[in-house]
Structure 1
Amino acid sequence: MNRFIPENAETREFPAAAIVAYCYESKKGPAFVAYKGRQSKPCRFLAFADDERRETYLAELVKTETEMENCKRARRETAHDLSVGDILFSSWGYDQTNVDFYEVVRVPSARSAVVRQIKQATTASSSGNMAGVTVPNPGEFVPTAKESTRRAAGRHCLYGGNLSLTSLQKWDGKPKYVSWYA
């Protein structure tokens, strides 16, 4: 790694926060440069009026980053709790609401699932306002759809819907709202 480390700096490592701080005396007073993980650019590079302010700021930085790392760790360890045959959906769009349905075809691990897009039945609303509801047709796969492995994003949730821009959530059995143009 190509990091700037000041001369005569005291190295302080905080593994729980994934932070390495180099504390030193600069021309402006007590200072530190801190790096997160394997980054080569510092996440903080500051000078302070006195040692106490530097220590207070560094302690707060370590506390915040430790909390963030704990959240990341918990998210990575959360299992999806899905089984083969479960229906997932993603809702997306800008001026219109699109819904895609997927069926779980394999569960290789507690942290991933293999899904494939399935067909859906859409019913237009009686008011004729280019909107309606849609429900999945389990077991009826879209002919061009390929199986796709998705990582868990939490309980009953996977990353990556249409073009991997949305998350896939377990379908609650209720028709989903859709809208369209022409």
Structure 2
Amino acid sequence: MNRYIPENAETRNFPSAAIVAYCYDTGRGAAFLAYKGRQSKPKQHAAFSTVEGRDRALASLVEQHESMEAWKRERKEAQHGLEVGDIVCSVWGYEQTNVTFFEVVRVPSGRSATLRELEAERVEDAPHSMAGTATPKPGQYAQGAKDQTRRATGLHKLSGLKSWHGDAQKWNGKPCRVTWYG
């Protein structure tokens, strides 16, 4: 690791925020240089007219990064709470609204689930309206559907797959709105 460390700097470690700060005197005032994790580029380099001002700014930086690290830990340890047979859906699209349904076919752990895409029944609101609803057909898998294992991102939520956009969440049992054109 090639980091710049000022001469006569006091090292302050904040492991819960993954921050290492070097506090020093510039001759004009107090300053600190803070690094995050193993980065060689400083996260923040600032000078202040007083030691108290420097310490307040450093405390604020550490507090911000402690909350970010806590959020990362929560996300990493998230449990999905899904069971085999549950249906999850992913609603996505730009100029149209699409929905893709999946059935949970295996639960390897509380933090991951294996899904298989389901066929869906699409009902148009009115002829040529290009809008309607979609509902899954449990047990009827899409042609060529392959099992895909996904990580939990929260209760009843799974991360997005490479073949579809957005996270998947447990289906609430109500028909989902869809739109299309062409």
- The alpha-carbon distance between structure 1 residues 133 and 78, as it changes in their structure 2 partners (threshold 3 A), is same
- 1:55 Cα deviation (Å)? 0.5
- 1:179 corresponds to which letter in structure 2? T
- The alpha-carbon distance between structure 1 residues 145 and 69, as it changes in their structure 2 partners (threshold 3 A), is same
- 1:167 Cα deviation (Å)? 0.4
Q: Deviations over 1:143-163 (max 9, x none)?
A: 222211111010000011463
| Correspondence for 1:115 | 115
CA distance in 2, matches of 1:176, 1:130: 14
- 1:29 Cα deviation (Å)? 2.3
| Correspondence for 1:29 | 29
| Correspondence for 2:147 | 147
CA distance in 1, matches of 2:3, 2:116: 45
| Correspondence for 1:103 | 103
- The alpha-carbon distance between structure 1 residues 117 and 171, as it changes in their structure 2 partners (threshold 3 A), is same
TM-score (norm 1): 0.94
- 1:65 Cα deviation (Å)? 1.4
| Correspondence for 2:83 | 83
CA distance in 1, matches of 2:148, 2:41: 35
CA distance in 2, matches of 1:149, 1:169: 14
Contact residue 90 and residue 162 of structure 1 kept, 8 A? no
- The alpha-carbon distance between structure 1 residues 36 and 164, as it changes in their structure 2 partners (threshold 3 A), is farther
- 2:83 corresponds to which letter in structure 1? S
- 1:30 Cα deviation (Å)? 1.2
SS in 2 for 1:132: strand
Equivalent positions of 1:1-182 (< 5 A) are 1-126=1-126, 128-161=128-161, 163=163, 165-182=165-182
CA distance in 2, matches of 1:9, 1:127: 74
CA distance in 1, matches of 2:132, 2:110: 35
Q: Which of 36-45 and 49-58 deviates more?
A: 36-45
4+ long deviations beyond 6 Å: none
- 2:93 corresponds to which letter in structure 1? G
- The alpha-carbon distance between structure 1 residues 89 and 29, as it changes in their structure 2 partners (threshold 3 A), is same
Contact residue 118 and residue 140 of structure 1 kept, 8 A? yes
SS in 1 for 2:61: helix
- 1:8 corresponds to which letter in structure 2? N
CA distance in 1, matches of 2:137, 2:15: 49
CA distance in 2, matches of 1:162, 1:129: 31
Contact residue 90 and residue 165 of structure 2 kept, 8 A? no
CA distance in 2, matches of 1:148, 1:40: 37
SS in 2 for 1:74: helix
TM-score (norm 2): 0.94
- 1:172 corresponds to which letter in structure 2? N
Task: Provide structure 1 residue ranges, at least 5 long, that are not aligned to the other structure.
Answer: none
Identity of aligned residues (%): 54
CA distance in 1, matches of 2:128, 2:59: 60
